[in-house]
Chains A and B, each alone.
Chain A
Amino acid sequence: MADPTPPDLPPADKIFARVGDLDEFLRGLDRVTQVLPARVNADEKNVEKGLAQLVLTLIDLLRQLMERQAVRRMEGGTLTEEEVERLGRTFMLLEKRMAELKKSFDLEDADLNIDLGPLGKLL
Chain B
Amino acid sequence: MSSDVRTNFATDDEAQHALSPEHELTMLELLDRVLDKGVVLSGDITLSVADVDLVYVGLRVLLSSVEAARRRRGGDELPPSQVVAP
A–B direct touch, CB within 8 Å, in complex? yes
Question: A26 contacts B35, CB within 8 Å?
Answer: no
Residues in B neighbouring A122, C-beta threshold 8 A: 67, 70, 78-79
Q: Which of A82-90, A91-99, A111-119 forms contacts with chain B?
A: A111-119
Pick from A8, A33, A38, A40: contact of B17, CB under 8 Å: A8
On chain A, the number of residues with a Cβ less than 8 Å from chain B's Cβ atoms is: 38
On chain B, the number of residues with a Cβ less than 8 Å from chain A's Cβ atoms is: 42
Interface residues of chain B, those whose CB is within 8 Å of chain A, are 1-2, 4-5, 8-11, 14, 17, 19, 21-32, 35-36, 47, 49-50, 54, 56, 59-60, 63-64, 66-67, 70, 77-79, 81-82
Question: B78 contacts A10, CB within 8 Å?
Answer: no
Pick from B19, B50, B59: contact of A117, CB under 8 Å: B59
8 Å CB interface, A28-73 against B: 29-30, 32-43, 47, 54, 69, 72
Residues in A neighbouring B17, C-beta threshold 8 A: 8
The DSSP consensus for interface residues of chain A is loop
